[in-house]
Structure 1
Amino acid sequence: MRYEITKKFKFEAGHRVWKQNLTSGKGARLMGGEIPPNPCLNIHGHSYKVEVTVGSDTLNEQEMVIDFYHIKAALKDLIDNKLDHSFIIDKNDPLYPSFKEHFGFLKLFVVDFCPTAEAIAKFIYDFLTEKLDEAGLLEDIKVVSVTVWETETGKAVYRGQ
């Protein structure tokens, strides 16, 4: 893309990385035999920051990729009404049936993936891509990347192909 713009968002949410196992997988060999607890198995929350970058090879009649307002409008319901102050839970999480039964009064945002920062970035990427497609804008404007900051020092980026 010759031109890119980035819009930032913030939301507060809880989650649980129910698949976390620090003693197996790609990174386990970095630990040197130390066996730590798996803290993200616990219910916890973050002040998420999201950066959405869209791009185009051409500018519109207003000499923009797209107005920042339009990107905000496309994501407003998802960010402000669904994700913000919710508990993001994978419907495949073994705790999900208990949450649904005993905590139905909570604002649950049910997904079909383990809610890691990487997976949330891809989810937002796919959501915005679908919105652009529904509006007939996908030929001109592409989602370049979505970055999800879980903490001040940890982020995940999903880029399209």
Structure 2
Amino acid sequence: MMQQIYPQTPHSYRYELNKDLHFAAAHYIPTEEAGKCARIHGHTYFANVTIAGNSLDSSGFLVNFSHIKKLIHDRFDHGLLNDHDDLFGSHVSGEMHGEASYPTTEVVARTIAEIVQAHLDETANRPKCIQIFLRETPSSYVVYRPGGTESHG
């Protein structure tokens, strides 16, 4: 993967891990406001997952890089995002103040953060996913920061 500079979020954690990965997936946004994006089309998504924490696990990892890849790449690569009814769909999420959960780049970035954090919450050292950078096209990307930019250190 090409060397990339990502926006940074300030924090006071001792460790910060970044994992770059990509996955090819199709999606559609089932609303008239989406224009052409209402039709099925695909992207090669490039993601950067930023994880931070103060302590390492018993193996000396903040989190194993391969676990992050498996969580995202293995789930979404060469699939139709809309088929993940448990994550995306035409339903409205009450948690997000009535926002639809269509697989827009914004929602996919938020969902990646939630998937990663759910995994991290099961680890002994409990690091935090503090940023997702998700590039949908060469000229379009989203940065999602769970909980904003506040420090959790």
Residue 7 of structure 1 corresponds to: 19
Residue 121 of structure 1 corresponds to: 109
Contact between 1:75 and 1:128, CA under 8 Å: does it hold in 2? no
Once the 2 structures are TM-superposed, how far is the Cα of residue 20 of structure 1 from its aligned partner?
5.1
Whole-Å separation in 2 of the counterparts to 1:5 and 1:74? 11
Once the 2 structures are TM-superposed, how far is the Cα of residue 72 of structure 1 from its aligned partner?
2.6
1:40-51 mapped onto 2 (5 Å cutoff): 40-51=37-48
Contact between 2:62 and 2:125, CA under 8 Å: does it hold in 1? no
Residue 76 of structure 2 corresponds to: 83
Given the superposition, is the C-alpha separation of residues 143 and 61 from structure 1 closer, same or farther in structure 2, using an over 3 Å criterion?
A: closer
Whole-Å separation in 1 of the counterparts to 2:68 and 2:17? 15
Contact between 1:5 and 1:65, CA under 8 Å: does it hold in 2? no
- Identity score, percent: 26
Q: Which has the higher helix share?
A: 1
- The reply to whether residue 145 of structure 1 matches residue 134 of structure 2 is no
Amino acid at match of 1:127: I
Q: Structure 2 unaligned runs (5+)?
A: 1-10, 89-100, 148-153
Once the 2 structures are TM-superposed, how far is the Cα of residue 78 of structure 1 from its aligned partner?
3.7
Name the SS for the 2:81 alignment partner: strand
Q: What is the aligned length?
A: 121
Residue 84 of structure 2 corresponds to: 109
Cα deviation code 1:33-78 (max 9, x no counterpart): xxxxx1111110000111100112x35389x7725xx133144044
Once the 2 structures are TM-superposed, how far is the Cα of residue 117 of structure 1 from its aligned partner?
0.6
Name the SS for the 1:40 alignment partner: helix
Residue 140 of structure 2 corresponds to: 154
- The reply to whether residue 73 of structure 1 matches residue 70 of structure 2 is no
Residue 25 of structure 1 corresponds to: none
Whole-Å separation in 1 of the counterparts to 2:23 and 2:114? 18
The one of 123, 136, 140 equivalent to 1:135 is 123
Contact between 1:18 and 1:114, CA under 8 Å: does it hold in 2? yes
